[in-house]
Amino acid sequence: MDNHIKKFSMNVRGLFSSAKKRSDVFNWAKSKSSSIVCFQETHSTRDIETLWGDEWGHQCYFGHGDSRNAGVCVMFRGGYDYEIHESLIDQHGRYIILNLTLYDQRLTLVCLYGYNTDKPEFFCDILQKTMRFSNTSFIFLGDWNVVQDKNDDTYNVIHDRNPNSRKKIDEIKETLLLLDPWRTCYPSDRKFTWRQTSPIKQSRLDYYLVSENLFTLVESTKIIPEYRTDHSAIILTFTASLAKAKDTGNLILSF
């Protein structure tokens, strides 16, 4: 059994109103050979869980907003060894926190969809919830709606949006010893995950934050073109076992 895990994340900009779009997006995500797929802004409601789960074909976790707002989900694929020990799901459809084991690696997975207004209390809540588990390894991912550095992560964006949320994200990074794989690999590159066409604006709002103690397991990190949305997808591939990872230099820089 392959112990390589590919995590896929994308803001899908609504899957509730169109079964055709939902089918297309599900199939497109599966075509990327993803092990774990995380969507944000799904616009899901509680009554869709059975239908969407059947359409996906494997275990799913949902955090619901309403049919026009928010919503997150974490969808698993078959063919690898994992166990979910506990889940914490936001009642407003903004995050899913999973305490899980991938092969022999225990970790906390956080899929989140941040507010587009300055709400540092949202990230404070996530940090407090994450600390409930005794894990020392973390993977955060999603559409944060906050850039980490205005100079490096925006284009033609005049205002410094959500500065207090950014400070709280910095606190999470310091508290949990998290690294941004993309920025660590490409310290001077400017690549974006969200774009507006008129006028042209771009930001890197979607990213992973990974524990320092998991970083040697990372094999590649990618930003790939969007599909039926205005956000690029982000992909992180890693070896799911510390025992099978190389001692150093495991990271493959990959666009």
- The CATH code of the domain that includes 155 is 3.60.10.10
Please say if 58 is a catalytic residue.
no
How many angstroms separate the CA atoms of 136 and 7, rounded? Answer: 19
Residue in 90, 143, 153, 180 annotated catalytic:
143
What's the pLDDT tens digit per position in 178-211? 999 999 999 999 999 999 999 999 999 999 999 9
Structural domain boundaries enclosing 213: 4-244
Does any domain span residue 250?
A: no
230 is in an annotated binding site: yes
Does any domain span residue 19?
A: yes
Beta bridge partners of 112: 95, 142
The pLDDT-based confidence of 30 (bands split at 50, 70, 90) is: very high
Does any domain span residue 237?
A: yes
Contact 213, 136 (CB under 8 A): yes
Residue in 95, 103, 113, 207 annotated catalytic:
113
* Count: domains in the chain: 1
Does any domain span residue 77?
A: yes
Cα angle 21, 76, 127 (rounded to 5 degrees) comes to: 100
pTM of whole model > 0.75?
A: yes
231 is in an annotated binding site: yes
What's the pLDDT tens digit per position in 93-116? 999 999 999 988 999 999 999 999
Mean pLDDT of the chain: 93
Longest dimension (CA), the chain: 50
153 is in an annotated binding site: no
What's the pLDDT tens digit per position in 46-75? 999 999 999 999 999 999 999 999 999 999
Over residues 162-173, the mean pLDDT reads 98
66 is in an annotated binding site: no
Please say if 143 is a catalytic residue.
yes
Does any domain span residue 255?
A: no
Does any domain span residue 251?
A: no
- Determine the 3-state secondary structure of 23 from DSSP: helix
Q: For residue 255, what pLDDT is reported? A: 31
CA-CA-CA-CA dihedral for 9, 14, 18, 22, to nearest 10? 10
CA 240 to chain centre: 17
CA-CA-CA-CA dihedral for 107, 113, 116, 117, to nearest 10? -60
DSSP letter string over 51-66?
Answer: HHHHHH-S-EEEE--B
Does any domain span residue 129?
A: yes
